[in-house]
A and B are shown apart, each in its own frame.
Chain A
Amino acid sequence: ILNVEQSPQSLHVQEGDSTNFTCSFPSSNFYALHWYRWETAKSPEALFVMTLNGDEKKKGRISATLNTKEGYSYLYIKGSQPEDSATYLCASENTGGFKTIFGAGTRLFVKA
């Protein structure tokens, strides 16, 4: 994989549902993986920076895992709330130049 791919492109869930989505990234020369949350008309906001294979990070109801050998990360949201509605972006850095490559995001809609 040369690009950062996110799936699904969009997701509709009911309030209270738990959900997860995927980020696939180049596993060669991996340096770091970032997750951002981007609400409409606001600035993207950092959720996690992950660097180690097997890393797991948690912030409230949101958690993320990292597999650097196979090049994927999962983001989980437990008990989704309407305020979780946003686009979730992941971005990969490699050691080749510390440039950050973004995925196109997963757009989450949580219905009350």
Chain B
Amino acid sequence: DTEVTQTPKHLVMGMTNKKSLKCEQHMGHRAMYWYKQKAKKPPELMFVYSYEKLSINESVPSRFSPECPNSSLLNLHLHALQPEDSALYLCASSQGSLGQETQYFGPGTRLLVL
């Protein structure tokens, strides 16, 4: 199984809602990533988890809260988002996080904040 799955595929939420994005992989990878991508822009790294511990937080606002309950799952909890947070949220995993490793991506969750 070389697949990274993400749910939901699409999400529309209001600025007062609380929602969560989910990501799952069963490749035994020990590093997992959240990226945000706006149209025609590069994917931007948000968070990196290595061995279920948060190792990189790219100064992401606290309205985004990551969680790694186990080595296969990565969640992104959303609360009080702004319309400018509308984007494609990509999850990825890699065997480790020491670099020079291929990242395997999910198809993304397209988020619209109204």
B82-114: contact bitstring with A at CB < 8 Å (1 yes, 0 no)? 000000001000000111111111111000000
Give residues of chain B (33-83) contacting chain A, Cβ–Cβ below 8 Å.
Answer: 35, 40-45, 48, 56, 58
| B42 contacts A46, C-beta separation under 8 Å | no
Does B32 belong to the interface (CB within 8 Å)?
A: no
Known: A42-B107, A98-B97, A102-B35. 14 other contacts (CB 8 A): A31-B99, A32-B99, A41-B107, A43-B4, A43-B107, A45-B105, A46-B104, A49-B101, A93-B99, A99-B45, A99-B48, A99-B58, A101-B42, A103-B42
Are B42 and A4 touching (Cβ within 8 A)?
A: yes
Q: Give chain B nearest CB distance to A47 CB in angstroms.
A: 9
Q: How many A-B residue pairs have CB under 8 A?
A: 53
* Interface residue A26 (Cβ < 8 Å from any Cβ of B): no
A contact residues, range: 20 to 34
CA distance in complex: A104, B41 (Å) = 5
On chain A, the residues within 8 Å of B42 by CB distance are 4, 89, 101-105
Q: How far is the CB of A102 from chain B (nearest CB, A)?
A: 4
CB pair A100 B107 closer than 8 Å? no
